[in-house]
Structure 1
Amino acid sequence: MAHHGNTPAAWTGVTIAMIGFVVGGVALMMTPVNMTVFWVAAVITVLALPVFAVMNKMGMGD
């Protein structure tokens, strides 16, 4: 645990989640609210966890 999140797996997971949150926020600010884009953003955000887990198992999280 010497890296404290400074690993490629952590950075990639956080970046993907942040992109999902930003896209979701933009979708909610559209007039009218674009729910299709919002749900795509939700899927992107949820995909951050398996991407992190796979990269961690590949040794990029140590």
Structure 2
Amino acid sequence: MAGNSHGHTPAAWTGVTIAFIGFCISGACTVAAQPLGFVAGLVVVAIGGVVGLAMRAAGMGQPKSTAVQRPQAAQPQS
């Protein structure tokens, strides 16, 4: 797994960091019995996903790999 660059982009780091903060908010509000805070934390988690996708669309994500064309075997002529 260490050989690939999966998730090593600003878009991935930012999205996951925001989502982690949302999970922390939801967890703290669960223990404190604050349903509104719990829902607010879930909204922050969703915002993290949206921010990550927006940053990827802006070019800060993993670059699209171009498909390598394999030479095709010679087809028998009929």
| TM-score, L = length of structure 1 | 0.88
Cα root mean square deviation, aligned: 1.0
**Is 2:45 the counterpart of 1:45?**
yes
How many Å apart are 1:3 and its aligned residue?
2.4
| TM-score, L = length of structure 2 | 0.71
Q: Paired residues, what number?
A: 59
| Contiguous gaps of at least 5 residues in structure 2 | 63-78
Q: Distance in 2 between matches of 1:3 and 1:58?
A: 19
Q: Distance in 2 between matches of 1:36 and 1:48?
A: 19
How many Å apart are 1:21 and its aligned residue?
0.4
Q: Distance in 2 between matches of 1:8 and 1:15?
A: 10
Q: Distance in 1 between matches of 2:22 and 2:42?
A: 6
Percentage identity across paired residues of the two chains: 41
